[in-house]
């Protein structure tokens, strides 16, 4: 049984009791972590506030070097962190098209290096004989980070690194389901960071630590990745001290396939962008609209790929898809599939939980589904793809946009100019042509409508961890 500590004020901290972390491939505990309480949050916030004045005044070049050093720690400890990510999330070490724990840790390294090299230069608005006006970006203070269970380490890095780069200090609480890799990173990071700059606490949901973070008067900004209902609650709680917010919330991304595609080629790409990480990614493709002329053959090819996918323990070589991360989520996926079946959907592959140990669900392709079915209207967040027939392009754009979410969307066509025009009509924060969900550390990413507030990545994301101060110097 592996054991981990919280990190508060640079010190390893236990709690009065611990709780078990479950490996979803077996349904059995593999680690124990501290069951933190609101008192631990208060201590972490106090440590972060005490560290902020010195950290925020640290030379920019020194902060940059320390963030690069954190990337080095991730790289040095990559094998250990990959194992922890696989054990707590179920995602394979390699995975479908290389999307697995290796990509998660490797992506965390890349994001850290790119973020370290971002700059926030002073902008000069006016400089003449009368006056000089400068716009400065200043750190906010203490950033509270709340991360989800699907990409626990990489999303923590997305939150932590721009906060530190801009001169903020951080209190991080990972999901109670997947805290191990993040706690371990907190231990490693504090071997190079000054005490109190990065604090990592773990807690069960019932302890109310996440809710306390959202309303805590000592936290100046909350960055949260997770469900839309939780994001709404955080937004309401944050009003007490007008916290800044970055919320990356649910997505129910639509993809639209035009009739001119190469069917065999596009099917493999569509399968990959839908089913990697078992569909447990906010920006996975989750609703696929296919033109009537190619509907049946594309459905059958997707189903063939689903039946051929290697599902199993992520620690085993060759596994492409692992389990659903937790039994509650697997039950929800099953509920959506059964509802679709009851309303006339054809189950072309999967459609059932795998018997035996672990939280496995067979990769599922559904045909003859329609808008209005729960499996289309709700975010499945699991290994399920509903394929919806269309004939009119203007009508399908309207249908794709008729959803409260607006994270991502895609158009699939050999006519790139036409596809780009259609993509710009999608109501989403990111749109892709012949791709879906591909993000990178220098391009902004965020949602519209109910999919969030603010953006992450690149200089746009870095600016969200700062306030603007205008300095006017009179010369006469």
- Name the residues annotated as catalytic: 248, 282
Angle of helix 295-308 relative to helix 263-275, nearest 10 degrees, comes to: 50
Q: Which long-range contacts (CB under 8 A, 24 or more apart) does 238-244 make?
A: 238/214, 240/215, 241/217, 243/214, 243/219, 244/140, 244/220, 244/464
Nearest CA to 248 out of 229, 225, 266, 227 is that of: 225
What percent helix, strand, coil does the chain show, rounded to 5? 40, 25, 35
Instruction: Return phi, psi of residue 125, to 5°.
Output: -85, -40
Helices (H) and strands (E) in the chain, counts: 15, 23
Farthest CA pair distance, the chain:
81
Contact 252, 287 (CB under 8 A): yes
Contact 45, 171 (CB under 8 A): yes
Whole-number Å distance between alpha carbons of 194 and 10: 7
Contact 182, 158 (CB under 8 A): no
Nearest CA to 393 out of 417, 422, 420, 414 is that of: 422
Whole-number Å distance between alpha carbons of 452 and 450: 6
Nearest CA to 328 out of 468, 461, 124, 175 is that of: 175
Q: Please report the DSSP string for 360-426 in residue order.
A: -B--EEEEEE-BTBHHHHS---SSEEEEEEES-HHHHHHHHH-SSEESEEEEE-S-HHHHHHHHTTS
Whole-number Å distance between alpha carbons of 440 and 417: 23
């Amino acid at each position: 049984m592996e054991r981990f500590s919280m990190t508060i004020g640079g010190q390893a901290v236990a709690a009065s009791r611990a709780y078990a972390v479950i490996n979803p491939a077996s349904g059995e505990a593999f680690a124990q972590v501290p069951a933190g309480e609101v008192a631990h949050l208060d201590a972490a916030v106090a440590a972060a506030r005490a560290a902020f004045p010195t950290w925020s005044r640290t030379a920019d070049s020194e902060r940059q070097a320390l963030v690069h050093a954190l990337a080095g720690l991730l790289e040095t400890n990559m094998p250990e962190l990959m194992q922890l990510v696989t054990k707590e999330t179920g995602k394979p070490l390699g995975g479908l098209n290389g999307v697995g724990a290796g990509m998660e840790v490797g992506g965390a390294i890349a994001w850290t290096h790119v973020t370290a090299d971002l700059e926030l230069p002073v902008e000069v608005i006016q400089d003449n004989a009368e006056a000089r006006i400068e716009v400065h970006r200043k750190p906010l203070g203490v950033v509270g980070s709340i991360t989800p269970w699907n990409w626990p380490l990489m999303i923590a890095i997305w939150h932590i690194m721009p906060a530190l780069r801009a001169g903020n200090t951080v209190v991080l609480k990972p999901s109670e389901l997947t805290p191990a890799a993040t706690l371990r990173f907190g231990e490693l990071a504090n071997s190079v960071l000054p005490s109190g700059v990065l604090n990592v606490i773990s807690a069960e949901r019932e302890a109310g630590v996440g809710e306390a973070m959202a309303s805590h008067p000592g936290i100046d900004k909350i960055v949260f990745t997770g469900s839309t209902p939780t994001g709404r609650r955080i937004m309401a709680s944050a009003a007490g001290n007008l916290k800044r917010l970055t919320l990356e919330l649910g997505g129910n991304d639509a993809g639209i396939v035009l009739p001119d595609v190469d069917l065999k080629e596009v099917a493999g790409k569509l399968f990959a962008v839908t089913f990697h990480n078992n569909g447990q990614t906010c920006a996975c493709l989750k609703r696929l609209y296919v033109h009537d002329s190619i509907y049946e053959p594309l459905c059958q090819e997707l189903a063939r790929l689903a039946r051929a996918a290697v599902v199993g323990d992520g620690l085993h070589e060759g596994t492409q898809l692992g389990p659903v991360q937790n039994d509650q989520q697997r039950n929800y996926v099953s509920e959506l599939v059964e509802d679709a079946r009851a309303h006339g959907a054809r189950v072309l592959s999967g459609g059932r939980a795998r018997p035996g140990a672990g939280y496995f669900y067979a990769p599922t392709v559904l045909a003859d589904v329609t808008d209005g079915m729960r499996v289309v209207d709700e975010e499945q967040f699991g290994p399920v793809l509903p394929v919806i027939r269309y004939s009119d392009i203007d009508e399908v754009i309207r249908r794709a946009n008729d959803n409260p979410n607006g994270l991502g969307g895609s158009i699939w066509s050999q006519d790139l100019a036409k596809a780009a025009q259609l993509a710009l009509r999608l109501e989403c924060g990111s749109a892709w042509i012949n791709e879906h969900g591909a993000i990178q550390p220098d391009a902004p990413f965020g949602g519209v409508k109910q999919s969030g507030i603010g953006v992450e990545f690149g200089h746009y994301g870095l600016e969200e961890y700062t306030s603007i101060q205008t300095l006017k110097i009179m010369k006469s």
